[in-house]
A and B are shown apart, each in its own frame.
Chain A
Amino acid sequence: MTLPALADRAIVLHARAADWREAIKLAGDALVDSGCTTGEYTEAMIRMVDAHGPYIVIAPGLALAHARPGPEVRCDGLSIVTLAEPVEFGHAHNDPVRVVIGLAGAAADSHLAAVAELANAFNNPAVIPAIAEAGSRDEVRRLLGAGTGAEAPA
């Protein structure tokens, strides 16, 4: 099992967001642009933080935006947004956020497999700052061990 592919449209580098809502929206828009979700999924990701607080900021500098599987999700998908200026999410320990991941799972079990791969990549503490500083989409894919989705099947 590998990460869902990261097409060019799923990676947005050095974007600007005025606040956490805009930062999550950027990650949601990238999922929509990749054809994986509808705009309703983006709204659902924002509602999770409205309802429960900034718990999606799971490590220093990193937010994992996601919502439940549902009809707004067309396929398993992943997006990566790096922020030109770090954004405060209101988290007690892990603010400010420099990297936002958008995660969409069509079903809970496939979702968990993708999440395990993400954990593999991020268990190296150097990866979050390296992604925040990455100058190209290929560098982000290399750091995460992800493909473009356009490769020939192995």
Chain B
Amino acid sequence: MKIVTICGAGIGTSGILKVNAERALQRLGLSATVVAADIGSVARVAADAQVILTSAEFVEAIGATRADVIVIENYFDGEELAGKLEAALG
């Protein structure tokens, strides 16, 4: 399973989301590869992803995709992340 986190630069906010998504997956007992990427490379990086984690601002730019696009509001809220990941993957 592959999860892609998306932000503008692919290194700051998406990096935080990657780190915390990995922790949430561990809590849920799920295993997945989590990759941080910038919005410009989403079509390529997320082509084989099951889930895209991002902010509301990027949903439109991500456009049509087979992945579930999940919007995270508080990047540091482990319960929000785990709950939304569980709903998408469970």
**Residues of A in contact with B (beta carbons under 8 Å apart):** 48, 51-56, 58-60, 64, 66-69, 92-94, 103, 105, 108, 111-112, 115-116, 118-119, 122-123, 125
B12 an interface residue at 8 Å Cβ cutoff?
Answer: yes
Q: How large is the interface on B (under 10, 10 to 19, 20 to 34, 35 or more residues)?
A: 20 to 34
Lowest 9 CB-CB distances: which A-B pairs, in order? Answer: A66-B12, A115-B15, A53-B57, A55-B55, A58-B75, A55-B57, A52-B8, A119-B19, A93-B73
Whole-angstrom distance between the alpha carbons of A111 and B19 in the complex?
12
- Let me know if A67 and B7 touch, CB within 8 A: no
* Set of chain B residues within 8 Å of A123, measured between Cβ atoms: 20, 23, 76, 78
- Contacts A58-B76, A116-B19, A125-B76 aside, 8 further interface pairs with beta carbons under 8 A come to A48-B9, A53-B57, A55-B55, A58-B55, A69-B11, A112-B15, A112-B18, A115-B15
* Set of chain A residues within 8 Å of B18, measured between Cβ atoms: 112
Q: Could you say which of B15, B36, B58 has the most chain A C-beta atoms within 10 Å of its C-beta?
A: B15
**Residues of B in contact with A (beta carbons under 8 Å apart):** 7-13, 15-16, 18-20, 23, 36, 38-39, 55-58, 61, 73-78
Given contacts A92-B56, A123-B20, contact A55 B13 (CB under 8 A): yes
How far does the Cβ of A70 sit from chain B's closest Cβ, in whole Å?
A: 10
Q: Could you say which of A58, A92, A118 has the most chain B C-beta atoms within 10 Å of its C-beta?
A: A58
How far does the Cβ of A94 sit from chain B's closest Cβ, in whole Å?
A: 7
Whole-angstrom distance between the alpha carbons of A118 and B10 in the complex?
16
